Amino acid sequence: MNNNLIPKIIAVSKTFIMNEIIPLIDYGHTDFGENKVQEAIDKWSKIKTTNKDIKLHMIGKLQTNKVKQAVSLFDYIHSVDSIKLAEKICKEQKKINKSIKLFIQINLGNEDQKNGIEIENFADLYLKCKNDLKLDVIGIMCIPPVKKDSSIFFQEMKKIAEKFSIEEISMGMSSDYLKAIEYNSTFVRIGSKIFGERS
């Protein structure tokens, strides 16, 4: 586990226009998170060709019909939650000889409206991705239920990471990132604390 590392901040730029993002890029920040593939393409395609340091993180639900576009643009996908999606990513990566860093999203709160694999099915998906598909799964990701103490879920994520010797954990947002860091989060996804509230 990366206990001693300072977590990487993903500036969640979804819904913000590039004029609002440029100052952060000029300051030297490199990691940005988007929820929708088409929005990301419209905003980032040009700037990513001129600024090779920028790393783009797909943090929203990824539909299989958008995988081809996502693989060509993104450097990280945080929301792998099914074998079908993993297989599609594998297929599209091979076509363009690219390897994306992946996180498996776990739905720890068993919320119907949230994406993510159920905890009891995590091991099967993780091992399939690593051993059969040879995907670069570097970590796990979660979005805790809004009205519950997120510490409970962060602690569970820490245990899963330790059990499977997983290096990276993507958890913690503007409201709870400090708490997430206490439980070894290595990627925090911060939007409103950086860009302000969304309209």
Domain that holds residue 163: 8-195
Total structural domains within the chain: 1
**According to the 3-state scheme, what is the secondary structure of the chain?**
CCCCCCCEEEEECCCCCHHHHHHHHHHCCCEEEECCHHHHHHHHHHHHHHCCCCEEEECCCCCHHHHHHHHHHCCEEEEECCHHHHHHHHHHHHHHCCCCEEEEEECCCCCCCCCCECHHHHHHHHHHHHHHCCCCEEEEECCCCCCCCHHHHHHHHHHHHHHCCCCEEECCCCCCHHHHHHCCCCEEEECHHHHCCCC
Place of tokens 């819904």: 15
Confidence at residue 82, expressed as pLDDT on a 0 to 100 scale:
96
Express each pLDDT in 81-130 by its tens digit.
999 999 999 999 999 999 999 999 999 877 677 789 999 999 999 999 99
CB–CB of 110/121 below 8 Å? Answer: no
pTM (2 decimals)? 0.94
Q: Is the pLDDT of residue 199 over 90?
A: no
Q: Is residue 3 in some structural domain? A: no
Question: Could you give the CA distance from residue 58 to residue 61 in angstroms, rounded to a whole number?
Answer: 8
Q: Is residue 40 in some structural domain? A: yes
Q: Is the pLDDT of residue 147 over 50?
A: yes
Q: Is residue 1 in some structural domain? A: no
Confidence at residue 13, expressed as pLDDT on a 0 to 100 scale:
94
Q: Is residue 2 in some structural domain? A: no
Domain of 61, CATH number, reads 3.20.20.10
For the chain, what percent of residues have pLDDT higher than 70? 96
Confidence of residue 71 (pLDDT cuts 50, 70, 90): very high
For the chain, what percent of residues have pLDDT higher than 90? 85
Q: Is the pLDDT of residue 186 over 80?
A: yes
Q: Is residue 71 in some structural domain? A: yes
